[in-house]
Structure 1
């Protein structure tokens, strides 16, 4: 996925003499930044078993080519001291990870909007997600836990090129140690985040937000709860993040009694 359209396929002038093994390692560094970013140089070295000098060499090369960039982030432990330097795939890097279709696709949607209106574009995007939602829904059959459903969606997204993964949310850091927060409050605040490190249709989503809107709606229906989009690659985020509350009521049809979604962190309400 990475080497076909990423760093090794667009070598800058003067890089022809870079050994094949070096190029492959650089692809691994880019892939790890894509999947785990924001990530520090030390974390990269540990993950890929590279020396600090090797990590720095690859990071400098990828930064120089505009594929990754540095994010300065406050240290979580104390919030003091110099900001930690972490790496993420840049907007330019995201767009270069497979964009051969982009000019024609964007032009086609522009024409559709011009001659048939925004409603036609919205209908087109909705139809695009229908087979994806049907396929995901079938894969989710029999999975009751909300966390497990989110994890399965992340797995399916990765198979489709979105580099999906989940991470725990809710109470963290010093707030999690606050004794004033009761168990029921902790259960209500429990959450998981569904993340996407890459977007195969980024160029389209940047101009047509309907792609992000329909994808968010699909996640909500697949999970059976109201979800909230915290960030998107299309609007400048380093990752698409969807917040999934574990303490909210499950969506229900009109007239039906609402129940909480079964979660491994809390008992289902009877």
Structure 2
């Protein structure tokens, strides 16, 4: 969308990469964001950010949401946060969603469908995570005990998950946030992908972890809670895979029937 008579300095300075794409990319990398947060990260005025957000909303790339507030809420209404829509995520996705979904459907059908089919898909999901997870394991094991979640986030980001680590609101642990998921659309149909990833995180960090939210379930960010003991090194972890998976009881990632 062009603005007649306007040539914002922010757009002129970006060259081939438009400011609007930078706004969308910032939301992808950091999750749902307010106008103030975007302006601070990108070095733009809030008025400029609002203009670009208006265009992105009109193009169904982002959508406004009520910002979650943890703890006591102050006076006034919370600022709106802007999150990527499915359409917006598709612009960044380079995965072959239909091919992957068709392959998983074939695996399920070939195994006999029903519970056998679900088990076959789950086995594939675990094998997939294990195959790509060796680099994650090396990164975590090389990190200081209190920096393991951060190391995992960096390793995930290198694979396109735009992950960050931060203290949980209750200060009892950390939250691993994945702001992008290359297989989100496939995971909507096959939640075994999310479940296998959660099991892997638990085994990797040596503690029970809890999946609080997933992009596949309609949330803005995939969020995993990791107890403080995992990052502080209080929990010993065997160097060999555990036979018992510490699976979250959360239904995040499961589509409601």
Interval of TM-score (by shorter of Structure 1 and Structure 2): 0.7 to 0.9
Alpha-carbon offset, residue 99 of structure 1: 4.7
Q: In structure 2, list runs of 5 or more residues that go unmatched.
A: 2-10, 112-116, 239-257
Corresponding residue to 1:107 among 102, 117, 126: 102
> Once the two structures are superposed, what CA deviation does each residue of 1:207-255 show, in whole Å capped at 9, x if it has no partner?
10011001011111111111000000000110000000114763667xx
2:48 corresponds in structure 1 to 54
1:250 maps to which of 235, 238, 254: 235
Change (3 A) 1:58 1:224: same
Q: Structure 1 residues 35, 197: closer, same or farther in 2, change over 3 A?
A: same
Q: Which of residues 195, 207, 220 is equivalent to 1:238?
A: 220
The corresponding residue for 1:72 is 66
The match for 1:6 is none
Q: Is residue 26–residue 38 contact of structure 2 (8 Å, CA) maintained in 1? A: yes
Query: What is the aligned length?
Result: 221
Structure 2 distance, partners of 1:90, 1:204, is 16
Tell me what 1:158 maps to: 157
Distance, in Å, in 2 between the alignment partners of 1:216 and 1:227 is: 7
1:199 corresponds, among 168, 177, 181, to 181
Q: Which whole-Å CA distance do the structure 2 matches of 1:214 and 1:46 have between them?
A: 36
| 1:119 aligned residue | 119
Which residue of 24, 29, 32 maps to 1:30? 24
Tell me the C-alpha RMSD between the 2 structures: 2.6
Q: Is the 8 A contact 2:30 2:162 kept in 1?
A: no
Taking structure 1 as the reference length, what is the TM-score of the superposition?
0.74
**Aligned equivalents of 1:203, 1:73: Cα separation in 2:** 24
Q: Could you tell me whether the CA contact under 8 Å between 2:101 and 2:186 is conserved in 1?
A: yes
Find the counterpart in structure 2 of residue 219 from structure 1.
201
Distance 1:252 1:28, change over 3 A: closer
**Residues 42 and 217 (structure 1), Cα distance of their counterparts in 2 relative to 1, 3 Å cut:** same
Change (3 A) 1:78 1:135: closer
Please say if residues 27 and 82 of structure 2, whose CA atoms lie closer than 8 Å, have aligned partners that are also in contact.
yes
In 2, Cα distance between equivalents of 1:211 and 1:109: 10
Determine helix, strand or coil for the equivalent of 1:161.
coil
Does the 8 A contact of 1:42 with 1:52 survive in 2?
yes
* TM-score using structure 2 length: 0.77
77, 82, 90: which one aligns with 2:85: 90
Assess, with a 3 A threshold, how the Cα gap between structure 1 residues 170 and 53 changes in structure 2: closer, same or farther.
closer
Shift of 1:127: 1.3
Using the TM superposition, give the Cα deviation of residue 61 of structure 1 relative to its aligned residue in structure 2, in angstroms: 1.5
